[in-house]
Amino acid sequence: MNRKQPVWQRVLFWVVLGIVMIFFTFPMYWILSSSFKTRADVTSRVPLLIPYANFQPTMNNYLEILTDEPIESAAGAQSSGSRGEFRNRLINSIIITTLSTVLAVGLGTLAAYAISRFRIPGESDLMFFILSTRMLPPIVVLIPIFLFFSNLGLKDSFLGLTILYTTANLPFVVWMMKGFFYEIPVEYEEAAMLDGYSRLQAIYKIVLPECIPAMAATGVFSAITAWNEFVLSNLLNRDNASTVPPYLNSIVGVGAVEWGRLAAATVIFVIPIIIFTYLVRNHLLRGVTFGAVRR
């Protein structure tokens, strides 16, 4: 920001920036605070925003979500799931998201390298075909995928959703990594091979260290896609190996919405993806901007 600007412009800038930050962060604060409220506090007509000032925080929602006792709604009727089931669904989400992300980034990186380094007949048509798989909305392919998975016995399995999410993320990974590889001079590999390295050794020792930030950034977006996916998981894995998004609806209960438990489950659900993004934060910015400036 230019310090030569008038004071009122600088003040206006920070006021507008503060309003924008509050606008975008308030929903997250509301979910977090609601997870520590009792049902009476959550459903209060007067918004209770400040802990210990407007309401007394409680950990009951988290304890109820993570224990094995059946959930009961305010009307006394049991909901469709048990609280301990949320733990299992969370573990399923972590396993499926991790496997599909690793496979998608690994396979997509190799495919992108081959496309960027070798002459492939019909490369433009091939890349358009890869991209076109991202154009179809999930609802269009639901019935074919359901029948296909039913015939192969892939329903209600870790393998089925892992293959599906890997396939869904591959086009994105290929297109992202292809642009990154174009920014790595091919002369690096040629020099390494002149020194006696094989191509695989040149890829492992020269190319991969250069594209780790790009792989980290691509992995974050792929993981978020698999982590949040609802429709396919709800259709294919309703019983075994089901993930968290389809399960969140079962916390609603019968007769009244259990907002506190739903908020607690939401907070727990977003923690792993936040941790993963935090761990790769050093590579994320460089990976996202890598290739933005052409030499």
What is the pLDDT, as a whole number, of residue 189?
83
Residue-range definition of the domain harbouring residue 219? 82-289
- Cα–Cα distance, 279 to 210 (Å, whole number): 18
Candidates 274, 169, 159, 288; CA nearest to 229 is 169
Instruction: Establish if 191 belongs to a structural domain.
Output: yes
Instruction: Establish if 151 belongs to a structural domain.
Output: yes
What is the pLDDT, as a whole number, of residue 79?
45
CATH at 98: 1.10.3720.10
- Cα–Cα distance, 290 to 275 (Å, whole number): 23
Instruction: Establish if 279 belongs to a structural domain.
Output: yes
Determine the residue type at 198: S
Give all strands (DSSP E) within 1-98, no chain letters.
Answer: 70-72, 78-82
Structural domains counted in the chain: 1
Instruction: Establish if 264 belongs to a structural domain.
Output: yes
Listed as ranges, residues in the chain with pLDDT below 70 are 1-4, 68-84, 252-256, 285-295
78 forms bridges with which residues in the sheet? 72
Instruction: Establish if 36 belongs to a structural domain.
Output: no
- Cα–Cα distance, 116 to 105 (Å, whole number): 16
Instruction: Establish if 58 belongs to a structural domain.
Output: no
What is the pLDDT, as a whole number, of residue 44?
81
- Cα–Cα distance, 80 to 254 (Å, whole number): 9
What is the pLDDT, as a whole number, of residue 9?
83
What is the pLDDT, as a whole number, of residue 39?
82
Instruction: Establish if 69 belongs to a structural domain.
Output: no
What is the pLDDT, as a whole number, of residue 107?
92
pLDDT in tens, 209-239: 888 888 888 899 899 999 998 888 888 887 7
Q: Model's pTM, two decimal places?
A: 0.80
